[in-house]
Structure 1
Amino acid sequence: MPVHLPGETAAIVRQEAAAFAAQAASPAVREAFDRLAAAAAEGSVPDDLLALLGQLLQLTLTSGRIAARYGPREEQALGEVYRRTPPGRELEGQVAAVNAALAALEGLPLESLRLAAAGPGRFRLAVEAGGRRLVLDLGPTDATARSLELAI
């Protein structure tokens, strides 16, 4: 299902896709970003370009480029567009799975919270509550419930 882009959002996607096209070394990559820029200029991104749109938005949103160049309102609007792309829908699924794991601790007395670095840009959060221990892996592009342990 195509993603429709309102005026300012379409203009930003067009500009960013054109900038990526101009920097692409590969003719195939350049052509794909040119197609994305043209689609954005029309205000609608077709299904076959949604994964590329998601990749573009993932990179520009996580790098802070969108916030720095266009501001927080546009960053929020493009974040909403991102959630409608295949990578964005995958991330929403990960968030739902983590929230389902957290629900197992809901209403239990909190015993401890510990955050550890698991690598560059990756963190591990351990939550202990009511004799249960939930470990979450958090990174710049994903979130997963690593384990849920019950005290016996």
Structure 2
Amino acid sequence: MRCSLVLVVVFFVADVPAADEAPKASATRDGKKCKFPEKGVAAGVEATTALLETCRDKAAGTADDMKKARDGDHVRLVFAKPVAVMVGDMKLEVSELVLTLPLNTGVFWLRAGDKVIRCTKYRFEKEEDFLAWCYTATRAD
């Protein structure tokens, strides 16, 4: 009986993702750092990638472009394990995503392997879920 209990406990512990594997979400609004509630990050990832996948335009970017995007107002997602997304006809394994704000001029900057990719011209009707999540962020200071 003890052996069965140990196996069940080991099974459940092995099935739970480590905290290090959870996506990290952060933002900067009006020049101030913001944080998201941990329990809502999964929904934020879903809403953000759904918006990203509607982009109709993509181009190559640089590490400097990504840094510049992180220096301004933005939402940033960092994945311990790359996440697969479809942008147009291209499947990308994304380890970092930065969406510049405000949304009316927003650009997605993606880190996929050693490449930086710029994605734009998303469908505005897909913003609703993203915005609902985005405004759950609170000032970090």
TM-score, reference length from structure 2: 0.27
Choose between structure 1 and 2: higher strand proportion: 2
Choose between structure 1 and 2: higher helix proportion: 1
Higher radius of gyration, 1 or 2: 1
Query: Higher relative contact order by CA 8 Å / sep ≥ 6: 1 or 2?
Result: 2
